[in-house]
């Protein structure tokens, strides 16, 4: 298990991470979220032992992180960090050696992974000649060639088409099932909702919300009602407890202060004869994220 305990990081006198604590268990996918500059990369670098916390402690399975442990961590960085003049095979031999693997093991794993990612034919191609999506696959392979026990995925789907997003999703779930602890970071809240049971939201280096996603949603008072039918936005906005109404192509999303106001909306709809849908929904993670970040920035 990864434990980040009361970690603070200063760059000079600027506090980039402020007393952050979280843990990621075996086979768990944990979401580390935040706007640009919130302190995510700084946190990843501290976990990878590339920089040291100013205070606090990071341990993996009870031990402080050292080179032995970083050999067992995989890191898919947001920015591409491939040596593009090398071939795919040369790159993997290089990365694998950095993770203390011997050549035979690297080549055996590489063949399997290239097949899994459906790019076997590119093994001897220079990385610079590959498309953006295929370079992302090579980057992913280099993050897991050491069969990591802890895997950090920072925007893993960038540059991928929907078919390859699906492929990556399945591979990530397979790694989870095998017991890999995964930290997942993305600005795409739908992807975070898909994977993460537990998460933390950082704003200016500080945790503003953390816990299990289902509890976060349950405890968030604002709920949404989805309505299909012939209604008027201006009428909906007049109902007690309604805080916002948004119309999409054929639906209305009515946000209410809390669940108890559902009956007020229902009473209004009883006066209409052509309602085909009425569903009460939890808020999306995107709505919660925007509200939490907005509170700090006063939006």
Interface positions with ligand ATP (CB under 6 A): 11, 14, 16, 34, 36-42, 78
Choice between 38 and 192, CB closer to ligand ATP: 38
Shortest Cβ distance from residue 9 to ligand ATP (Å)?
8
The terminus-to-terminus CA distance of the chain in angstroms comes to: 37
Question: In the complex with ligand ATP, which residue's Cβ is closer, 39 or 96?
Answer: 39
Characterize 174-189 residue by residue with b for buried, 16 or more Cβ atoms within 10 angstroms of its Cβ, and e for exposed. ebbeeebbbbbbbeeb
Q: Which is nearer to ligand ATP, 40 or 223 (CB)?
A: 40
Report the C-alpha gap between 255 and 242 in whole angstroms: 6
Residue 28 and residue 182 in contact, taking contact as beta carbons nearer than 8 Å: yes
Q: Least distance in Å: CB of 123 to ligand ATP?
A: 31
- Least gap, CB of 270 to ligand ATP (angstroms): 47
Which residue, 37 or 294, has its beta carbon nearer to ligand ATP?
Answer: 37
Per the CB < 8 A criterion, the answer to whether 91 and 127 are in contact is yes
Nearer to ligand ATP by Cβ, of 16 and 293: the residue is: 16
Q: How far is the CB of 226 from ligand ATP (least distance, A)?
A: 31
d(CA 45, CA 39): 10
Supply the minimum distance, in Å, between the C-beta of residue 293 and ligand ATP. Answer: 12
Give min distance, CB of 78 to ligand ATP, in A.
Answer: 6
Exposure of 237 in the CB half-sphere (CA atoms within 13 A): 7
48 phi and psi angles, rounded to 5 deg:
-80, 0
Strands of 206-212's sheet, edge to edge?
Answer: 73-76, 150-154, 181-185, 29-34, 198-203, 206-212
| Least distance between ligand ATP and beta carbon 59 (Å) | 21
**CB nearer ligand ATP, residue 42 or residue 91:** 42
Q: What is the chain's alpha carbon radius of gyration, rounded to the nearest angstrom?
A: 23
Token match 């997942």: residue? 184
User: Closest CB to ligand ATP among 36 and 234?
Assistant: 36
């Amino acid at each position: 298990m990864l434990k980040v305990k009361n970690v603070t990081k200063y760059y000079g006198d600027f506090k980039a991470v402020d007393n952050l604590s979280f843990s990621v268990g075996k086979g768990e996918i944990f979401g580390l979220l935040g706007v640009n500059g919130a302190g995510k990369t700084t946190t990843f670098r501290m976990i990878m032992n590339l920089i040291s916390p100013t205070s606090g402690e990071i341990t993996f399975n009870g031990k402080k992180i050292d080179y032995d442990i970083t050999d067992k961590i995989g890191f898919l960085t947001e920015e591409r960090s491939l040596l593009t003049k090398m071939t795919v095979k040369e790159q993997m031999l290089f990365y694998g050696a950095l993770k203390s693997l011997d050549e035979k093991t690297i080549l055996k794993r590489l063949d399997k992974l290239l097949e899994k990612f459906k790019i076997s034919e590119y093994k001897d191609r220079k990385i610079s000649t590959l498309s953006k999506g295929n370079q992302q696959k090579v980057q992913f392979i280099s993050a897991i060639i050491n069969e990591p026990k802890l895997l950090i995925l920072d925007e893993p789907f960038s540059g991928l088409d929907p078919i390859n997003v699906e492929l990556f999703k399945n591979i990530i779930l397979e790694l989870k099932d095998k017991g890999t602890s995964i930290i997942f970071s993305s600005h795409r809240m739908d992807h975070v909702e898909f994977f993460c049971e537990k998460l933390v939201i950082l704003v200016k280096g500080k945790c503003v919300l953390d816990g299990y996603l289902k509890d976060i949603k349950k405890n968030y008072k604002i709920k949404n009602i989805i309505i299909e039918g012939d209604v008027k936005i201006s009428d909906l906005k007049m109902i007690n407890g309604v805080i916002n109404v948004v119309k999409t192509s054929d639906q209305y999303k009515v946000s209410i202060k809390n669940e108890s106001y559902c009956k007020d909306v229902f009473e209004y709809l009883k006066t209409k004869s052509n309602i085909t849908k009425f569903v009460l929904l939890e808020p999306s993670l995107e709505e919660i994220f925007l509200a939490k970040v907005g509170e700090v920035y006063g939006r």
